[in-house]
Structures are given as C-alpha cells and as structure tokens.
Structure 1
Amino acid sequence: MSRIEEHPKNSCCSSESSDITSTPMLEPDTNASCCGTTEKDSPNTSTIEKDSACCGTSEKKKSISGTIEEENACCSTSDGDRLSSSISEKESTCCSTSEKNNSGCCSSEQGAEEKSKQNISPSLALRTYKVEGMDCPSCAATIEKSLGKNESIQSAEVNYGTGKLKVEASSVAVLDEVPKLVGKIGFDIAAPVVNYQAETYVIEGMDCGSCAQTIEKHLSQHPDVKEARVNFSTGKLHIQHTASPDVIMKEVEKSGFKASVDSKGKREETVKSKPKDLRTTISGSFLGLGFISSFTALPEMLSVMFYAVSILVGGYKPAKSAFYSIKSGSLDMNVLMASAALGAALIGEWFEGAMVVWLFALGNMLQNRSIERTRDSIRSLIDLTPSEATVKSGSEWIKKSVEEITIGEVLLIKPGEKVPLDGEIISGASSLNQAPITGESLPVDKKQGDEVFAGTINEHGSIQVKVTKLVEDTTIANIIHLVEEAQAKKAPTQAFVDRFASVYTPIVFILALLIMVFPPLLGFGTWGDWIYKGLALLVVACPCALVISTPVAIVSAIGNAAKNGVLIKGGTFLEKAGAITAMAFDKTGTLTEGKPRVTQLIDLNNNRDDLLAIARTIEEHSTHPIASAITSYAEERHISAQNGTDYEAIAGKGAKAVIDGVEYFAGNPKLFKEMNIALDKVNGEIHSIQNDGGSIVLVGTRKKVLGIIGVSDTIREITVQSIQHLKQAGLNELVMLTGDNDGTAKKIASSAGVDRYFSELLPEDKVKAIKELQAEGKRVAMVGDGINDAPALATADLGIAMGGAGTDTAMETADIVLMADNLEKLPHTVRLSRRTLAIIKQNVWFSLITKFAALLLIFPGLLTLWMAVLADTGAALVVIINSMRLLRQK
C-alpha cells in the first residue's frame, strides 16, 4: 500500500466499514477529504484539488471526471450514480435536503441529487411562496426536507429571513399542490409571489391581424403565461410568463408560426436571404394551365387535375394555419379561405376554388412585402451606428466590436465617421450632425465635456470620446425600444375595430352556414347555388382590411416621427395629438433660450461690488436659471461670494441667506411686499425693466431694498417660425405660462406670437391654468422640459417634453418627446397626427363600404368566389398602401 501524505486540514469521512481508499502516488492538496465505503471506490481523477471531497456509496461508484476542481463535492446515494460532468465548477455541490458535514460531503435519506442552477432543465416550472408560521431556522430545514421527498419537486429553498419558499418542479400542477404539502407539516402558504418575466419575440409567418389573435388565444391557454399581446404591424409578441424561451417558442410553433427572441435594438448578425417561396408562382402556373386546357379538346379531367394541384400547392400554408387556428379556438381568415376553397371543390367549382387559393396567396405575399417595409422603417435605425470602433489600448489604437466595448474606454472618432456609442468628449472639438437622434437639420458644435450620441456624424475635427453607455443602453437603442413598445400599444380606434371584428366575423360565419342549409331545405333554389353563395359570404366574413386599417397607419406614423426626432409613446397619444385644439408652453427653456443674462444692475447705496457679492452669495445655492445668470455675471467680474449661512429657497418668490448675522433676500417684488417694505422709490426702475421684457430681482434685507438686478431671456430663433406653423396646422389657441411679471410676459408673448398668456404663476398655478383652458372646452397639450413642468404635463390632455436627447426623465414621463431642444419638429408632429387620423378614417370607411357592397352583390348572384377574394385581399392591400403614405410625409 503506497504512502498517503496527510495534511492537518485533511479530513476523511467514513461509512459502515471506515475503509480507507488508497491510490498509488496520490497526494491530495490542502483541505482535501476522502470518504470510504464498504466497497472500495475507484476515483479516476488524476488530481484532487483543494477542498475536493469524494464520497462512496453502498455499490461501487466511479468518478469519471478528469479533474475535480476547487471545493467540489460528490455525494453518496443508494444507487451508485456516476458523476458525469467532465469538469465540475468551483463550489458545486450535489446535496438534496440534508445537512452538509465539515468535509463538504452530503448524504440524504432519499439520496436525491440537487441540481445546480446551471443544470436546471429549461422546462421546469418555478414559483415563489410566502410561508407563514415559521418560528426558527430549523422550520425552514423541515420544509425543505419534506418537499425534497417528492420526486416531482426538483428543488425547494426556504429563506427564513424573508419567509419565502422557492420551488422548482416538473410542472405547474405540482406547484399547485405545494400549499397542501406544506400545510400537512404545520405551516401556511400565503398567495404565491409569481415572478413573471416580460419578453419580446419576433414572429414570422403572420399573414394578417387574425393570425395575431390565433397566437394570443393559444398562448393565453398556457398556465405559465400571464399575458400575451401580438402586434401584426410590428410582427412582435409581448409576453409575461414564468416559462423558458424554448417553451414559448415551441408554443408559438404549435399555433403555426415561428418565434425568435427579440434583440431589443442590438445589432443582429447578418442573416442569409431566405429562399423565395415559389408556391404562389407554381399555384398560379397550374391555375393557368387548367384555364387554358378548359378551352381545348383535352379531357375535362385534365383541367380538374391542374386546378387540384393549384389548390394543393397554394393552399398548403393557409390550410396549415387554419388547422392551428381551429385548434386554438380562433376563426381567422385562413379558416374562412380554406373552407371556401374546399367547399368550391366539393361542389365541382374547381376553377373558383383554385382562383380563391391563388388570389389569397398573391394578396398575402403583396401584403407581407408592404408590411415588411413598414416594419423596417424602425429596424433601419440600428444600421445608423457602426459595428466597430477605434478604441485606445495602452498607447495604441485598435479596432473593436461595439458589443465588446465597456464604459470608460476611450474612442477615437475621425472626421466623417459615425459615433459608435454614447459618450463624453475628453479631447478635441467638432460639429456633429445629430439628425438621426434629434431631427435637427443643422450640425451642432461640440467641445470638451459635451455629450455625444451613437449614430451622429462627426463632420469636422477629430475627437476622443469616453464611453458612458453600453451598446444596448445608448440613446438610439432606447429610441428603437420605446418606439417598438409604442407601436405595440393599441389606439382607441384600433381597440374598437378589434371588438367590432370579433363580433362581425362569427355572425357572418353563422349566417353563411344558415344560407347554405335553410333556403334549399325550404325549396328556394338548388343546394349548389346556395352553398356557393354561402361560400362567397364566408370569404366576405374575413375582416382583414378592417383589422389592419388602424395599426398599419399608427406604426407608419410613429416610425415617421421617430426618424424626424419625435418620440410618440403610442397610438393613443398620436390620436390625441391630432385632436388637440389648444397648446400651452412653459416660457423658460421652451419659448426662450432658458439662459437668461443680467442686463441691468441698479445699486441704491453706490456700492455695486457689495450688492453683487450679496446677490451671488444668495443665488449660488439655487439652480434657477435666473440665479445662474446672476452667479455667472458676478464670476465674469471676479466678484467673490461672502460667507453665508442658513440658505433657503422661497418657492416662486426668491431665496435668502444670512451674512454676518443679517438676513439678506433676493427675489421678486412680491417677496418684499409680503415683508411690508415700501417700493415707492424703486417703482420707476421696476416698471422700466419690466417694459423692456426683463425679470426683476430685488436684493435687500427685511428693512430696505439695496438694489435691483434686471435679467432678460431671449426668444429662440426657431420659436416664432414654429408658432406660425402651428397656427397654420389648425391649432386655435397658443398659450404661454410663466412666473414672470405681467409686463415681461406681455412683451415675450407679443414677440413669440402666442395668442394668450398667464403670468406670475407659481408651479402649482400652471396646473390651474391648464384646468382653466380645459374648462373652456379645449383639448390642451402642454409643452415643457419634462421635469420642472411634470404636474402640468400630467394634467394636460397631452404632455410634450422638449430636449429628450440624453434626458432619460423626459423620455420616460412625457406622452410625446421632442428629442431636440427646440420646437422645430412640433408643427410636423401635429400635422402628422392629424393626417394619421384622416387616413385611419379613410381606411375604416373603405373597408366597411367594400364589405357591405360585397354582401349586397352576393344574393343577386353578381359576386363570384374569386371576386370576393379579390375584394378582401385587394381592400387589405389598398389600406396598407394608403397607410404607408405616412412613412413618406416630410
């Protein structure tokens, strides 16, 4: 027997016979432990590393791993299982529900293996419960041990501190039994805490809106799915569930379609172009052959064979989809078309049946191509960002994939190149074309310390940029994600149309069946004639054009807006924007530059420097634009702040500070009037500044005014032009809201061209102003910066935030976000919204009129089956093309 060198920390665990396993020339590392059994184990490991333990069983057990890594333990069972992993990971254990001994080796009454998270089957069901009645940690061990005896439960984990039980089982049915199992051992289960995950999948193979409903119905029947929403226009499935992605994709396949996990704005690998589907062409060819042969002396059976092949080839996909639709309890267009084609063949109308199938396939092919163009309007934004970037590595510059770049790395962006990731300029200066993000037509000058966005174009100088956001978190990635979410939300009109279609289709379907049966039974005509009319009615029952009349228009409009620097958060807000009659603007930063400057300084004690030092001391602790203007003015003149204490902001009025034991105030005249300070001596100066459109800041104590500072803000160059375009777009009233005095407000309102203004408003007064406009019967939109104006934005019928680029708060809170920091794109947004409403109305009325006209033509026998299909698919195609006009609106 060869020597085994023991170590002080080496421990050995024995079983019934306490045999010692020996291996020639085997020297375990520090903290290694070995376990014996009644029969000798044969570890095949070449090295047992630190903290490794090998455990025996009652039957011979072989460890077949090449190396058992640090802190790895293999545990005994009664079956002599094999440890089958090639290399077990650090701190991996195979314990079930029993306690672990000091050697790191575990045993169990059942000898069940506990699977690590990496090895859990993706089809396992997971649920978290709240356990009541646990008095101590041993209660948690009792529950774990009890549940571990159930073969259908893979793992049970109790956290005594939080009182939560996490169970992984083979099915949801087993999870439903957990409360009873726990109840039997004396504990109570509260309502389960279900951790639903929200995911988005791309769906392939949908032909119309009813296909989306088929998928929704099928998935809603799955016990692990809380909610499933499919948007035909975007081709996306939004789902909340507790299953794995594999399970969801298999369930979608069961309903006849293909799903893949959405990349959420990340660059996808280039996919080889799919082979063309030639079934429509082949089906049409056999239809043509059948039609030609019917005019020749060839046997009639040959024509029937050609038509039959045409039906089989072209009808395979609709028939397959129809099967899955019926299986999930849906009544979609595939069911209706397949029924019509089959019925036509059964009554001997082979040409009609083949024509139905071919026209249906052709219409779907054209619809899908058109819809793909709409979907690609947003996907193309991903291509605006480069896939590689020049990154600093030591003293060299190397090319690197954007997915591999981390926050803090430095990028080199040369003239003419696109910015690959969001970041901050640390060296250099240039002009950047930000049109892909903000829609601005003119380049923006950027210098050291300024923020740059992925997808923008560096036009002149070379710059170095420190990365601040990963590829999936960039502004353009967020835009794509938010827009796709918005496109998936149903507008009120769409919701109404869907409800109408869900009632209309089954009614017409039942009516078609009645027409096929009752008239011939009552002696009115032949069975063939009435079955034919019933089949035509089945085709007309498909509301495809009506169902897609709204979503395609919404998707097109939202895509157009996004490309022009405007984020519209959903169809609801797009419709609201089209119905707005009045628009209110916050003055500072919206109509004006938001960067006021000091234009006048009047000192009443002949000591300008002292006055400015006091003003700077008070205003340095405020973030208000006027305070910043005063602080900057003092800095430019090298006037330092004094030592102040007890700083306090006085909402809507000003601020104060204590300097050398004296309270000093800087604020508007209202503040000093409330302190009963006479302003008679300075009224002339106050009125003069106000008449020039300036804001007043009085500086003084509780007893007197020491001086007056006049601050003015300039109107943005684009503001006047935008206001005029909004009036041309049909807005009845444009209103300005400001905290300035009446004189200043009047002058700025006149310069900007607004119709009405509310002055001297505190933040809460802006909400009252919005409500006052609404009380006058107006539908009001509020335009602000998305942060300070949040209450007013929320109160208005529509909240519009400016300067969304780089401002996460604005992008999250407002209904519509103007990515640029000006009103340039606002008139376009209003016009686009109004045109969208007009197109939706056109689509809905066209769809309804087409349907009712077809219904009326069926009974006189003027509408053939192929004409009914042409009316349906043709109407759908017209609706799509009409909606796509919104993509091209400039």
Structure 2
Amino acid sequence: MREYRVTGLSCANCAEELEQEIKRLSHGETATLSYRSGKLRIDERMALDQVERILRSDGAALARPASLEERNGHSTRQAHGGSDHGHGESNPAHGDHSHAHGGPDHAHSDHDHAHDDHDHAHSDHDHAHGASNRRIVVLLAVSALLYGAALLAEHLGIGKAVIAIYAAAALLSGYTTFLRGLKNLTKLKFNIDTLMTVALVGAAAIGDWKEATLVAILFGLNEWLEGLGMDKARQSMASLLGAAPKEATKVTDGAELVVPIASLRAGDLVLVKPGEKIPSDGAIESGRSSVNEAAITGESIPVDKAPGDGVFGGSINNEGALRIRIAKAYEDSSLARILHLVEEAQETKTPTELFINRFAKYYTPLVMIVAALVFLVPPLLLDGSWTKWLYQGLAVLIVGCPCALILSSPIAIVSGIARNARNGVLVKGGVHLEQLGRLDTLAFDKTGTLTEGQPYVVETIVYDEARFYAVAGAIERGSAHPLARAVMRELDRLGVAPADAEEIVAIPGQGVRAVVAGETFRLGNEESAAALSLGEETRSAILGLKERGLTLVLLSDDRRLLGAFGIADRIREESRSVVRELRRGGIRRTVMLTGDHAKTAAQVAEATGVDEYFAGLLPEDKVRKVKELAAGGTVGMIGDGINDAPALASADLGIAMGKGTDSAIETADVVLMQDHLGKLPEAIRISRRVNGIIRFNIAVAMGLKLIALLLTIPGWLTLWIAILSDMGATVFVTLVSLSLLIRRPGREPTRS
C-alpha cells in the first residue's frame, strides 16, 4: 500500500464519496481516504492519474512526494550538514558516508526512502494546502468586493451591470460547488453540493440574484471554515508526530557520523548532545543527565539518568552528553509504536459517527422531498404564490445541508485523542475514547497498579541474629523472585554480607532448602516450618504479622525458627487521591481484584479507598468477576500489562499501566504511559467532555435547522437566514470541538 496526503478535502461527506469512487477503479478495493487525517492509502498497482482525476473533480489534490533523486540528495546534504556542524573539520568518514548515500543503500534503502517520503510528503502537503487556502480566501474576498459593488450599483440604479456583477461574484465563490452539484444531478446523486446547486439555479431563475450570490459566498465561506476547523485538529495531531527524531549521531570506531534515524539498528552506539532527541529505545553506556520523557509519558518533570538506565526514543536530553547503546531499531521503539497507534486511532469511527453517516445518506434525499412539498403543496392546495413558495422551497434545501451534523463528531474525537496523547494517555481509537467517557465502574488489579509492585520488608522477627540475616542472604541472593529481592534490599540497607550457600533445592508449596556452612536450612512460607514446635510467644508474633496483612518469609534450621520477614507491597502514593478524584468525576463503583490473601487485600482497600475487594483470585477468576461487574454497568479494568491480559480483554475497556512497555501497548484499549495512575482522572474527564460535546453539537445542529424550518410555516424563511443558520451551526460546533485542545489551568491532575 502507498500512502499520500490529500489537500482540499472540503467535507467528511465529500471525502467518503471520493473514497467510494476510487474503490471502483481497478485494484481500488482496499483504498481508504480519511477526512480526519487527510491521508489516502491505495494499492501500488492503481493508476495514479485516474485517482488524481477523481480527486480533482472535488477540488482535492495529492501532495506528491519528492522524486527519489531529490530525496537521496536531501538525505546526503542533511547528514553532511549535521556532521560538519558537530566536528568543524572534514573527517575521512564523511567521504564514505557520502559515497554510501550517493547511490542506493542495499541494506536500508527502502526504509530510508519511506522515511523521506513521509517528510517530503508532509512538507509538500503543508505547502500545497497553504496555497489552496490562500486561493480560496482570495476568491472569497474578491467575491465579497464584487457583491458590495453590485449592491452599490443597484443603489445607484445601474441596472444592466448589476446582474453581471452578481453573477461574477457567485461564480468566483461557488463555481466548484455548482459544477459538483450539476454532475451529481445528472447521476441523480443527492448530497450537499446538489442541494446548493439546485438552490442557486432556483434563486437565479426567479431573479433573486442578490440572495443567490450571498448564498454562494456564504456557502464558500462555510466550507473554508469547516476545513479550517478540521485542519486545527489535524495540526494538533501532527504536533505529536513531530516528536519523532529525524537524525542521530552514530559512533563507529571513535568516529561520529550523522545518519538518518531509519538507518540505526539494535546494538549501535549513538551520541546524544544536550538539547537533542534520543533516537530510539536503549540504555546509557556513559554520561549523566536529566531527560524529558514528556513525548512518551506526558510527564513534564525531567528524570535523572545515569549509566545503566533505560531511555525512550523521542525523549530529550537536557544537559550532559550521553552515549547510548540502541536496543531497538526506531520503527520498533516505544515512540514509533505510540505514534503509529495514535495515527490509527484517528481513523476509527465511533458508533455515533457511523449512525450520523448512515442518517445523512437518507436525510439529504428527505430534505429534497420536503423542499418539493413546500414548493408544491401551498400553490396547489392553498392557492399560494408559486414564486413565493419556490423561494421557500429553495431556502429549505439550504437549511437541510447536513454539514454541521456530520462535523458534530470527528473534530471532537480527533481533538480528544490528541489531548489525551499529549497528556501521556494513549487511546487506541474513537470507539475507546467514547467508551472511556461512559465508564461507571473501575476494577483495579492490586500489584503494580494500586501498589508499586515492588515488595519491601516492613518488619522482622529475629531469634538468632548471628545466623538469621547471613543465611537468608545466602539463600536469596541468586533468586529473581520479588520476595527474595525484598529480602536482599533489606540486607543491603542493614549492611549485612550474605554467606555462601552450597546447594539450594526448591520445595513446591513451601519455599527452598539449602545447605550453608554444612548445616541445612529452610526458607519459605509457614509450611516450611510446619514440622517445628513453636512456642506460644513465637506463634503470637507470627500471627501479629499476618493480622497486619504482611506476607511471611520464615527461616529455620532442623530444630528451631531463626526468624521471619514480614513483607508488603508499597501502596502508590497517589492511589488514594486518584480513587477519590475518580469518584468525584462520576465513577460510581471502584473494585480491587487480587490474587493475594484477604488480609492484605483488606489493608490495601482501606488505604486506597476502593469500595470493595475480591481476594485470592486466579486469572480465570478475575475474568469471571469482570463479567459479573459488566452486567451492572460499563466496566473498565486497569492492570499492569500482560499478566492481566485476560481480564483486560473481558472488560468493556482495558486500561494498562504502560511506561512504554511493549506488552501493555499491545494489550489494552487505553495505555497510561506513566508508572502511576495520576493521569487517569483527567483522561476520563476529557473523554466525558468529548461525549458531552458530541451530544451538544448534534442538538445544536438539529435544533437550529428545526427552528429555521419552522419559519417556513408563516413564510418568513429567507435564503440568507437559511445559509446563516447552517453556517452558524457549522462554525459553532467546530469551535466547541476545538475547545477540547485548550488546557484549563488548575485542572491537570497532580500526584499526591
């Protein structure tokens, strides 16, 4: 499939009709044309001249990418410019680089060219679109001046020139609409352009040139404003895509070389200077700095990074120079996948949009019938004036234009997705955005969601201090189990040097058995010490740890208990405030689902403020519980990635704690790209606003039309009132939808 940007798309309905025409061409079955993103995807075998002919029929055009030679030349010059800037003097490596890029690069040429295609097409799109906008504005301005001149001529009594001036003004601003509508009439296809063409011809036929010209000018202005509103939403989305880096400084055998981002591969070493974007996911080999990860997580506060720390592609290095070992090619990086998903998200249509589109197909022919009845019934049955009721029928045609109705949803959806993405919340489509705004129940996984997922030792009971810590360290230091890591962190804090274990054997359902300094020890849960005879005081101490909801790790030899660790998972600092804010935002029920035991679950539930909890659940139990909750409302399930995938898939909406992890990005419908829940209430608030704005827009669009139509009963409806009501509704719903892009001070969530 080839992708092109398209300029001059006048409306969503027009884009859909163009897509249907392109689909009828040879190899056009898979073609898609998106009004939202202004992108056309077609089979490579399609005849491009035929596609362009169809687009031209509606005033649209392809933004053609630069030629292959131009792209190669551009790539070479950029690389040299960046490299020279970095070194000041010539470097032998530069010659090799120039040679490599002067001809095709067999290893990476396809991908590099695709990358350049995108950049050039985007640039050409902006240039062509700017030129198209200027042309429309000039034509409208000239038409308005001619209209004023005609009014003046009419006032001065210069009758012969008036009609010619009106006609010239109408043709300049409305000829494209007129021609499209005329073509549609020959095909008996009734859409917005057909309505306007019939109205213009009718007004001219009854000699009302003044209003016919005003209709043409105002409709042209309406179309321009409609396109301008969608462009604003697209520009907001494009600003997100601008986070992608274009070049990187690759370090090879000590030499630094500026290369296109697409040429990087896993294992490459890159130098990132202060102020530059990190080219792809990787780990720091040398250097220290703070890194702005807002492009990934939406967090504006920079994160300090040191050797060994992981970094995301697209994040910005603030201070010191960093040498980074790339872990993934850019196209596989977190940022690339996020941007790809965001682009895909704006293509999906919500059930509301699909209904509006279906409705519009029947609505326009219905308007034609109503207009015909308005024209025919009063003269035939009520002895009305043919001229008067023809005029009223033409006004009904204009009122019936469905522009505002069709626009009521897409701009709001794109704006909502872009706003959430800027905030570090990835919503994978309009359907999920709409669903996010309808949630009334939220189910939380415990570990890694309400808690940090990093257990720590809360309390210890020690009966043999000389051996307890050293032996526990000997057994646990080679384990990757979260509880073992918690024990080792505690020993590091205490400064204890672990002993050496001679052999370690896992005992299913209990823990491990190990030999340390020739003596056998057991470390694990209560079952590991079940054979020992514990005194009343010891039993009471262990029971106390359990009552507090702590997980126990006991260490014993063959004769007695040496001590016990009481371990808990630290609750996220923002969890309680987030749950409280969610409740204020309209979530009526919060539930925690966990595989942990009931006492731990009770403690976490009380500390975070969730309404209820269910403990001891296996993955299949969580799925069952989510389905039960869904019977009483719209349920969102929040988990920390792949382990919660079954429950996430079973919910009406799956929300993953991501921090950019591949599994989370792939699993859920919505991904919180941070390592906390702080952005969730704002995401739900934005989604509720989107849903509310769409409902409001539909009510305004239909309400203004109804009021205008009611004016036909006393015969008060005029053509200019009709077009103003339609244009007013279109401009109004556009502005209301774009208000979603405005951040209101004091409304952003904070971690507490």
Please state how far the C-alpha of 1:303 moved relative to its aligned partner.
Answer: 0.7
Is residue 708 of structure 2 the alignment partner of residue 854 of structure 1?
A: yes
**Which one of the candidate residues 800, 806, 815 is aligned to 2:655?**
800
Residues 293, 247 of structure 1: alpha-carbon distance in 2 compared, 3 angstrom cutoff: closer
Residues 326, 210 of structure 1: alpha-carbon distance in 2 compared, 3 angstrom cutoff: farther
Q: Is the 8 A contact 1:614 1:642 kept in 2?
A: no
Separation (CA, whole Å) in 1 of partners of 2:419 and 2:689: 12
Output the amino acid matched with 2:276. Answer: E
The equivalent of 1:770 in structure 2 is 626
Is residue 48 of structure 2 the alignment partner of residue 246 of structure 1?
A: yes
Separation (CA, whole Å) in 2 of partners of 1:245 and 1:700: 79
The equivalent of 1:78 in structure 2 is none
**Which one of the candidate residues 380, 387, 390 is aligned to 2:239?**
380
The equivalent of 1:625 in structure 2 is 482
Output the amino acid matched with 2:663. Answer: T
Output the amino acid matched with 1:715. Answer: I
TM-score normalized with structure 2 length = 0.82
Separation (CA, whole Å) in 2 of partners of 1:329 and 1:237: 27
Map of 1:161-560 to 2, 5 A cutoff?
A: 197=1, 200-222=3-25, 224-237=27-40, 241=43, 243-244=45-46, 246=48, 249-250=51-52, 252-253=54-55, 256=58, 257-260=60-63, 266-268=118-120, 270-271=123-124, 272=127, 274-275=130-131, 276-277=134-135, 278-298=138-158, 300-322=159-181, 330-517=189-376, 519-521=378-380, 524-560=383-419
What does the per-residue CA deviation read over 1:75-97, in whole Å, with 9 as the maximum and x for residues that have no partner?
xxxxxxxxxxxxxxxxxxxxxxx
Q: Is the 8 A contact 1:214 1:328 kept in 2?
A: no
Please state how far the C-alpha of 1:363 moved relative to its aligned partner.
Answer: 1.4
Q: Is the 8 A contact 1:519 1:530 kept in 2?
A: yes
- Secondary structure at 1:559's aligned position in 2? helix
Output the amino acid matched with 1:429. Answer: R
Please state how far the C-alpha of 1:506 moved relative to its aligned partner.
Answer: 1.2
Please state how far the C-alpha of 1:603 moved relative to its aligned partner.
Answer: 6.7
Q: Is the 8 A contact 2:473 2:488 kept in 1?
A: no
Separation (CA, whole Å) in 2 of partners of 1:317 and 1:657: 84
**Which one of the candidate residues 434, 440, 444 is aligned to 1:575?**
434
The equivalent of 1:824 in structure 2 is 678
Q: Which of the pair has more CA radius of gyration?
A: 1
The equivalent of 1:867 in structure 2 is 721
What does the per-residue CA deviation read over 1:787-808, in whole Å, with 9 as the maximum and x for residues that have no partner?
1111111122211101242x12
Q: Is the 8 A contact 1:267 1:382 kept in 2?
A: no
**Which one of the candidate residues 710, 718, 725 is aligned to 2:574?**
718
For structure 1, the 5+ residue unaligned runs are 1-196
Q: Is the 8 A contact 1:388 1:399 kept in 2?
A: yes
Output the amino acid matched with 1:236. Answer: K
Separation (CA, whole Å) in 2 of partners of 1:704 and 1:499: 77
Output the amino acid matched with 1:294. Answer: E
Please state how far the C-alpha of 1:447 moved relative to its aligned partner.
Answer: 1.9
Residues 564, 763 of structure 1: alpha-carbon distance in 2 compared, 3 angstrom cutoff: same
Is residue 643 of structure 2 the alignment partner of residue 841 of structure 1?
A: no
Q: Sequence identity of aligned pairs in percent?
A: 39
Please state how far the C-alpha of 1:824 moved relative to its aligned partner.
Answer: 1.3
Map of 1:61-76 to 2, 5 A cutoff?
A: none
Please state how far the C-alpha of 1:659 moved relative to its aligned partner.
Answer: 8.0
Compare relative contact order (CA 8 Å, sep 6+) and give the higher one, 1 or 2.
Answer: 2
The equivalent of 2:92 in structure 1 is none
What does the per-residue CA deviation read over 1:635-681, in whole Å, with 9 as the maximum and x for residues that have no partner?
87434454346x68x7xx67667989x99986655x779x9999996
Separation (CA, whole Å) in 1 of partners of 2:550 and 2:359: 57
The equivalent of 1:752 in structure 2 is 608
What does the per-residue CA deviation read over 1:431-465, in whole Å, with 9 as the maximum and x for residues that have no partner?
11112221113221222222222332222322111
Please state how far the C-alpha of 1:694 moved relative to its aligned partner.
Answer: 2.3
Output the amino acid matched with 1:735. Answer: V
Output the amino acid matched with 1:781. Answer: G
Please state how far the C-alpha of 1:709 moved relative to its aligned partner.
Answer: 3.2
Separation (CA, whole Å) in 2 of partners of 1:678 and 1:220: 81
What does the per-residue CA deviation read over 1:604-652, in whole Å, with 9 as the maximum and x for residues that have no partner?
78842685268538x82x6x5334434655787434454346x68x7xx
Is residue 634 of structure 2 the alignment partner of residue 786 of structure 1?
A: no
Separation (CA, whole Å) in 1 of partners of 2:344 and 2:266: 26
Separation (CA, whole Å) in 2 of partners of 1:876 and 1:413: 47
- Secondary structure at 1:226's aligned position in 2? coil
Separation (CA, whole Å) in 2 of partners of 1:514 and 1:823: 58
Please state how far the C-alpha of 1:693 moved relative to its aligned partner.
Answer: 4.3
- Secondary structure at 1:483's aligned position in 2? helix
Output the amino acid matched with 1:802. Answer: M
Residues 737, 528 of structure 1: alpha-carbon distance in 2 compared, 3 angstrom cutoff: same
Separation (CA, whole Å) in 1 of partners of 2:201 and 2:558: 93
Map of 1:604-753 to 2, 5 A cutoff?
A: 607-608=467-468, 612=472, 615-616=475-476, 620=479, 624-630=481-487, 637-644=497-504, 683-698=539-554, 708-753=564-609
Q: Is the 8 A contact 1:382 1:477 kept in 2?
A: no
Residues 760, 584 of structure 1: alpha-carbon distance in 2 compared, 3 angstrom cutoff: same
Q: Is the 8 A contact 1:434 1:456 kept in 2?
A: yes
Map of 1:117-156 to 2, 5 A cutoff?
A: none
Residues 248, 773 of structure 1: alpha-carbon distance in 2 compared, 3 angstrom cutoff: farther
Output the amino acid matched with 2:726. Answer: D
The equivalent of 1:565 in structure 2 is 424
Output the amino acid matched with 2:204. Answer: A
Separation (CA, whole Å) in 2 of partners of 1:525 and 1:261: 56
- Secondary structure at 1:596's aligned position in 2? strand
Please state how far the C-alpha of 1:848 moved relative to its aligned partner.
Answer: 0.9
Q: Greater shift after overlay, 421-430 or 256-265? A: 256-265
Output the amino acid matched with 1:511. Answer: V
Q: Which has the higher helix share?
A: 2
- Secondary structure at 1:788's aligned position in 2? helix
Separation (CA, whole Å) in 2 of partners of 1:472 and 1:803: 18
Separation (CA, whole Å) in 1 of partners of 2:150 and 2:588: 63
Residues 601, 323 of structure 1: alpha-carbon distance in 2 compared, 3 angstrom cutoff: farther
Please state how far the C-alpha of 1:725 moved relative to its aligned partner.
Answer: 2.1
Separation (CA, whole Å) in 1 of partners of 2:434 and 2:463: 56
Separation (CA, whole Å) in 1 of partners of 2:559 and 2:29: 67
Q: Is the 8 A contact 1:786 1:802 kept in 2?
A: yes
What does the per-residue CA deviation read over 1:482-508, in whole Å, with 9 as the maximum and x for residues that have no partner?
112111111122122222222211111
Separation (CA, whole Å) in 2 of partners of 1:569 and 1:433: 24
Is residue 730 of structure 2 the alignment partner of residue 876 of structure 1?
A: yes
TM-score normalized with structure 1 length = 0.70
Q: Is the 8 A contact 2:475 2:504 kept in 1?
A: no
The equivalent of 1:77 in structure 2 is none
Q: Is the 8 A contact 1:615 1:630 kept in 2?
A: no
Please state how far the C-alpha of 1:200 moved relative to its aligned partner.
Answer: 4.6
Output the amino acid matched with 1:313. Answer: L
Separation (CA, whole Å) in 2 of partners of 1:656 and 1:338: 84
Please state how far the C-alpha of 1:313 moved relative to its aligned partner.
Answer: 1.0
